Amino acid sequence: MSDRLLIDLSTLPEEGKHFSGELPVEIFDLPDYDAKALGPLSYSLYAQRFASELLLSGSLSAPFEFTCVRTLHPFVKTLQVEGASVAVEIEQEGPLDVTEAIREEILLAFPDYPRCDEADVPMHCEIDPRYLAVDKPVGDGVETRPRDAGDARWAALDALDKQDSER
């Protein structure tokens, strides 16, 4: 497995060429608190040159471990980008490294709010009712933090609540 995807422009046929393979998990270089890459980035791309631009089209996929925004449980989801189209500007002749461009294409496919019911193996995804503020059951065992006695930031909201109850 190569650690970069290099396309040699001098040997690239005018009609284009197909490239497929895998790039190592290290190319993602994600912070610890974010998603965790679990496997290589797999690609199947067709590369064709158009004047000063290289167009890559095809499919990309990579498995990641996300944390569910509802349950806070980790889960595995394989991101797949079918019909990917990546344009890379050609600044000089010779080998062109397109690794960063296809890495970014996968990162753009990250879910905004990852949920475990969208995992490769879907799980039950429901917020624990003990942590809901609305319709919170009595005796749930979760302590509500009391407000500071002198906190004036809440006074305006408390006044609105009193006005509503008087109507």
Q: Is residue 154 part of a domain?
A: no
What is the average per-residue pLDDT within 129-148? 61
How far, in whole angstroms, is CA 158 from its chain's centroid? 40
- Give the containing element (helix H, strand E) for 160: helix 155-166
pLDDT exceeds 70 at position 68 = yes
Task: Determine the pLDDT at residue 32.
Answer: 73
Distance CA 154, CA 59 (A): 52
Q: Which has more pLDDT, 30 or 78?
A: 78
Q: Which has the closest alpha carbon to 56: 83, 21, 78?
A: 83
For residue 25, what are the domain limits? Answer: 6-118
Q: Where do runs of H (alpha helix) occur along 9-154?
A: 99-107
pLDDT exceeds 90 at position 109 = yes
Distance CA 153, CA 159 (A): 11
Task: Determine the pLDDT at residue 159.
Answer: 76
Confidence of residue 55 (pLDDT cuts 50, 70, 90): very high
Q: Which has more pLDDT, 155 or 60?
A: 60
Q: Which has more pLDDT, 165 or 85?
A: 85
Q: Is residue 57 part of a domain?
A: yes
Backbone angles phi, psi at 93, to 5 degrees: -75, 160
pLDDT exceeds 60 at position 103 = yes
Q: Which has the closest alpha carbon to 65: 10, 19, 7, 111?
A: 111
Q: Is residue 104 part of a domain?
A: yes
Q: Which has more pLDDT, 124 or 137?
A: 124
Distance CA 1, CA 125 (A): 37
Task: Determine the pLDDT at residue 157.
Answer: 75
Q: Is residue 47 part of a domain?
A: yes
Which DSSP state fits 40?
Answer: P
- CB–CB of 60/42 below 8 Å? yes
pLDDT exceeds 90 at position 61 = yes
**Average model confidence (pLDDT) across the chain:** 84
Q: In the chain, how many domains are there?
A: 1
Q: Which has the closest alpha carbon to 109: 83, 134, 128, 90?
A: 83
